[in-house]
Amino acid sequence: SQQGEEDPQALSIQEGENATMNCSYKTSINNLQWYRQNSGRGLVHLILIRSNEREKHSGRLRVTLDTSKKSSSLLITASRAADTASYFCATDGNSGYALNFGKGTSLLVTP
Amino acid sequence: KAGVTQTPRYLIKTRGQQVTLSCSPISGHRSVSWYQQTPGQGLQFLFEYFSETQRNKGNFPGRFSGRQFSNSRSEMNVSTLELGDSALYLCASMRGDTQETQYFGPGTRLLVL
């Protein structure tokens, strides 16, 4: 079942701009992960944030987690055309080892 | 380290046939999970194996089955294929001793005619 829901469904920006994607989920979690997928290929892991963390950085990526609101956001700064992809959040929910994915945000970065 | 590999990458079958997909995890990883991705349902969890035992199972019919070998390689099988089984099947591996990052393979794209 889909636990995570990303918002917006689609986002179009120009190179150099920042892109923000949001994710909401329903049940308690141990951690939340963000993945990128290019054109129906495999998922590339971007970042994992644990339930006791509020913010995490990795290069141009910044992820926040608000467990009280059951939401997370992914910020990509200074976007590049190569960032064009679908972005998914995934939570482990109650099962521990099975990831629950949202439908994803489709990001288009134009030169 | 080599990443997660999946074979075959593409497959075309007809309704009623069966299919077996293979996944080799990252060296040292003992957990392998399988996911189905379709445009309508998105990414859905099929099952997860750890040390040759199924540890978690998603909400899929019994036509979907899997197994894991002693070298952690995993296979999933779909019997009596239906048109709706057309999808990208992704496998992911992780060390498995704690809940942590899952690393995905490139996927097998299955088309059922």
pLDDT at A3: 61
Chain B positions contacting chain A at CB under 8 Å are 4, 31, 33, 35, 37, 42-45, 48, 50, 55-56, 58-59, 88, 90, 92, 96, 99-107, 109
pLDDT at B113: 97
Q: How far is CA A43 from CA A65, B3, B16, B59, in A?
A: 21, 12, 29, 21
Per-window interface: A 71-100 vs B, CB < 8 A = 88, 90, 92, 95-100
First to last CA, chain B: 37
Predicted confidence (pLDDT) per residue in B72-112, tens digit? 999 999 999 999 999 999 999 998 766 688 999 999 999 99
- CA A77 to CA A59: how far, in whole Å? 9
Per-residue tokens: A20: 């923000």
Nearest residue in A to B31, CA atom:
A97
**Partners of residue A100 in chain B, C-beta under 8 Å:** 45
Predicted confidence (pLDDT) per residue in B36-63, tens digit? 999 989 999 999 999 999 988 999 999 9
Q: Which amino acid is at B88?
A: L
